[in-house]
Amino acid sequence: MKILVCISHVPDTTSKINFTDGDTKFDTNGVQFVINPNDEFGLTRAMWFKEKQGANVTVVNVGGAETEPTLRKALAIGADAAIRVNTPATDGFSVAKQLAKIVEDGGYDLVIAGRESIDYNGGMVPGMLAGLTNANFVNNCIGLEVDGTSATATREIDGGKETVSTSLPLVIGGQKGLVEESDLKIPNMRGIMMARKKPLTITEPVDANAGTDSVSFEKPAPKGAVKLVSPDNLDELVDLLHNEAKVI
């Protein structure tokens, strides 16, 4: 089985976020980047298929040279090869088009993507990728088993879980539950050394017009000052909740 794991290069959630050029561009200065958490859950599940079923695992990213350390980390975790499509990830549609070309050229049986990236939270790429490659699609996936060309997937739905049967080729949008946080792999020294010898192929992009454009960014408004009310003054508390907070 050939597995392709889509990897997004995203800011660490502890990084301080700023914008430049009149709040139209993300400022990357001083920002630590990591593997998108939803993608890391998918990569870990792919490692299980590699260990248990002998699957071959390739990771792919759409982005510039600055994303290669993230791909190298994925190789150190255990992926067999990496591909970088040499173009900025401008929007969901253009990224899906680039990934579709990789899928078609590589003949992958299973494509594992995160249901969304934690930077833009668009949640568009996995579904569009499945549509562009005529593959079956399961989103919000929290469980996956593959037996030959048949697959059983569990996905999160409102109020519960749903288990579906499908077949390969398959694209999933994975999330926490596909594996647990305790299952995530930390690269060891041997893995880091081996990653240096594994192939990282750079491919040029196909023509793809962006379907959306980011006009501007805005940080959440700062929280207002806290008002303290004496526990003996319940009338003032009720008045504030009713007339100012308007919650009662």
Do the beta carbons of residue 47 and residue 22 sit within 8 Å? no
* Amino acid sitting at position 121: N
Give the model's pLDDT for residue 220.
Answer: 85
Q: Which two tokens stand for residue 212?
A: 């959306």
Do the beta carbons of residue 176 and residue 41 sit within 8 Å? yes
- Please report the DSSP string for 29-56 in residue order: TT--EEE-HHHHHHHHHHHHHHHHH--E
* Average confidence (pLDDT) over 8-37: 91
Q: Give SS3 for 9.
A: strand
pLDDT of residue 132 exceeding 90: yes
Beta bridge partners of 201: 83
Separation between Cα atoms, residue 36 and residue 232, nearest integer Å: 49
| 101-116 tens-digit pLDDT | 999 999 999 999 999 9
Do the beta carbons of residue 92 and residue 214 sit within 8 Å? no
pLDDT range class, residue 227, cuts 50, 70, 90: confident
| 181-224 tens-digit pLDDT | 999 988 999 999 999 999 999 999 999 888 888 889 988 888 87
CB count in 10 Å sphere of residue 210: 15
| Residue where the block lists tokens 């008002």 | 227
Give the model's pLDDT for residue 45.
Answer: 97
Q: Give SS3 for 131.
A: helix
Helices 92-106/125-133 angle, 10° precision: 40
Do the beta carbons of residue 146 and residue 49 sit within 8 Å? yes
* Amino acid sitting at position 75: L
Dihedral over alpha carbons 121, 124, 126, 131 (to 10 degrees): 180
The secondary structure of the chain in percent helix, strand, coil, rounded to multiples of 5, reads 30, 30, 40
CB count in 10 Å sphere of residue 202: 11
